[in-house]
């Protein structure tokens, strides 16, 4: 429960609509109480849908699905990684590799190139039906990597459930030339700076918790 600015004696439930342990870990940084509910939706990309349109839609659908059974402020997010390699990045989405072989192929493509993480964030107030949604990008410029370096990294960290085949908060940082973005939490999957602003619009001050 977190305190409300306008009426400090009241409280509101915060719910993270996600099955991602990484988003849960990021949200814990704010030191506020929240529940976690995994939304069950079809996350397939529609024909002609850009990465921005895809994550925007999925974040709102996740929040709406959880709102069917829970009340409060529902936080939802979605993320895709796109490879900027001189062709239309809209058509090159890097998914979770799931296997060592797929991860090798992804990192070989990313080597020496730029990967853009497109992350959406939705905050839905089930009492007022007010919904806020934004999309934020974060760029990762990869070093030129040898096949040996890629193989060594993957065997050591095994990031097979991570879009782009790396964990930026761990050894994955060694793969990068530089990072470009406003909030490093966006890269992990939950833009906290934007979330704090959204919560303030709902009268919630995380610093007053």
Q: Are 106 and 162 in contact (CB under 8 A)?
A: no
Task: Choose among 148, 149, 155, 77: nearest CA to 118.
Answer: 77
Q: Are 117 and 55 in contact (CB under 8 A)?
A: no
Query: Euclidean distance between the first and final Cα of the chain, in Å?
Result: 8
Catalytic status, residue 78: yes
What's the rounded Cα separation, in Å, for the pair 61 and 108?
33
Q: Are 120 and 59 in contact (CB under 8 A)?
A: yes
Which of 42, 78, 84, 183 is the catalytic position?
Answer: 78
Active-site residues: which are they? 78
């Amino acid at each position: 429960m977190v305190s409300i600015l306008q009426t400090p004696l009241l409280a509101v439930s915060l719910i993270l609509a996600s099955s991602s342990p990484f988003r849960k870990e990021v949200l814990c940084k704010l030191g506020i109480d929240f529940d976690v509910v995994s939304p069950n939706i079809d996350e397939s990309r529609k024909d002609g849908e850009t990465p921005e349109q895809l994550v925007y839609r999925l974040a709102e659908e996740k929040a709406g699905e959880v709102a069917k059974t829970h009340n409060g402020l529902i936080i939802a997010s979605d993320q895709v990684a796109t490879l900027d390699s001189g062709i239309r990045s809209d058509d090159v989405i890097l998914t979770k590799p799931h296997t060592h072989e797929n991860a090798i192929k992804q990192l070989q493509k990313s080597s020496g190139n730029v990967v853009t993480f497109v992350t959406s964030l939705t905050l839905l107030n089930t009492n007022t039906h007010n919904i806020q949604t934004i999309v934020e990008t974060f760029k990762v410029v990869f070093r030129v990597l040898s096949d040996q370096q890629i193989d060594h990294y993957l065997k050591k960290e095994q990031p097979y459930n991570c879009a782009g085949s790396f964990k930026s908060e761990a050894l994955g940082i060694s793969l990068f030339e530089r990072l470009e973005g406003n909030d490093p939490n966006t890269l992990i999957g939950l833009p906290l700076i934007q979330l704090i602003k959204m919560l303030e619009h709902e009268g919630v001050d995380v610093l007053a918790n």
